[in-house]
């Protein structure tokens, strides 16, 4: 199997009380694992695709044979988007520091303004999808949202860039604890961001 669901880098209960252990367990072990296994199934007949990273596949969907494209888009996106999500969650600093903090101030005016814009993207994504903070080709930051498991790295992304922070707003990400209260889940997210991890992704994207 070319693609694997890595273990979470922390315990299921590490993000309590903001994101509960049961949600983390089902989300990672069932939902993420299903995307990964369906991605493996989608590339089974295509050894050339299976040699490429999942990131490469979803950023270059036009190079994927038509009959496998939708499955790679949905399940490759599901796999990669969740890998990013687990990596940017954690407990630590409540705000970004250094170059990332400066770039956020420069683009959005302040951290509070950025929070507002990102939260609004998460709230207004109709149905399932993701909110994102990305680094665009010109090196500047932008907030965007995508439906389903679409990635901002895709060739047809409305706003294209390298993801450095994302938030899963599929109901499976919050329904057990928050039911229909997506705004409360979005609010809780700000207490469990690993800003050091986001800063590392930012530095890598700027290179
Ligand atoms: Mn999810």
If you measure from the C-alpha of residue 102 to the centroid of ligand 1, how many angstroms do you get, rounded to a whole number?
30
Give pLDDT, residue 95. 96
Spans in the chain with pLDDT lower than 50: none
If you measure from the C-alpha of residue 78 to the centroid of ligand 1, how many angstroms do you get, rounded to a whole number?
7
> pTM to 2 decimals?
0.98
Give pLDDT, residue 1. 86
* Beta-sheet strand order (sheet of 129-135): 141-147, 129-135, 162-168
Give pLDDT, residue 92. 87
Give pLDDT, residue 124. 98
If you measure from the C-alpha of residue 166 to the centroid of ligand 1, how many angstroms do you get, rounded to a whole number?
11
If you measure from the C-alpha of residue 106 to the centroid of ligand 1, how many angstroms do you get, rounded to a whole number?
31
Q: Is 21-87 CATH 3.40.640.10?
A: no
Phi, psi of 135 (to 5 degrees): -105, 115
Give pLDDT, residue 74. 98
Give pLDDT, residue 12. 98
If you measure from the C-alpha of residue 75 to the centroid of ligand 1, how many angstroms do you get, rounded to a whole number?
11
- State the angle between helix axes of 182-189 and 111-124 in degrees (0 to 180), rounded to the nearest 10: 150
Nearest alpha carbon to residue 80 among 26, 3, 2: 3
Q: Is 98-206 CATH 3.40.50.2300?
A: no
Residues ≥6 apart with Cβ < 8 Å to 7: none
Q: CATH 1.10.287.990: which residues of the chain?
A: 21-87
Q: CATH 3.55.40.20: which residues of the chain?
A: 98-206
Give pLDDT, residue 136. 98
């Amino acid at each position: 199997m070319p693609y694997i669901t890595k273990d979470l880098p922390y315990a299921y209960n590490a993000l309590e009380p903001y994101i509960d252990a049961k949600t983390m367990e089902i989300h990672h072990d069932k939902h993420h694992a299903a995307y990964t296994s369906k991605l493996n199934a989608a590339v089974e007949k295509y050894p050339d695709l299976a040699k490429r990273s999942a990131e490469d596949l979803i950023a270059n969907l036009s190079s994927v044979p038509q009959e496998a494209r939708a499955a790679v888009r949905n399940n490759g996106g599901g796999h990669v988007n969740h890998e990013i999500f687990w990596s940017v969650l954690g407990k630590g600093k409540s705000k970004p520091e250094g170059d990332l903090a400066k770039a956020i101030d420069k683009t959005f005016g302040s951290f509070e303004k950025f929070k507002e814009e990102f939260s609004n993207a998460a709230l207004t994504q109709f149905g399932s999808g993701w909110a994102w903070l990305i680094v665009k080709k010109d090196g500047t930051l932008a907030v965007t949202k995508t439906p389903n498991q679409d990635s901002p790295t895709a060739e047809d992304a409305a706003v294209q860039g390298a993801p450095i922070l994302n938030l899963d707003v599929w109901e499976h990400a919050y329904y057990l604890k928050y039911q229909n209260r997506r705004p409360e889940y979005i609010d809780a997210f700000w207490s469990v961001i690993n800003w050091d991890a986001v800063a590392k992704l930012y530095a890598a994207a700027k290179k």
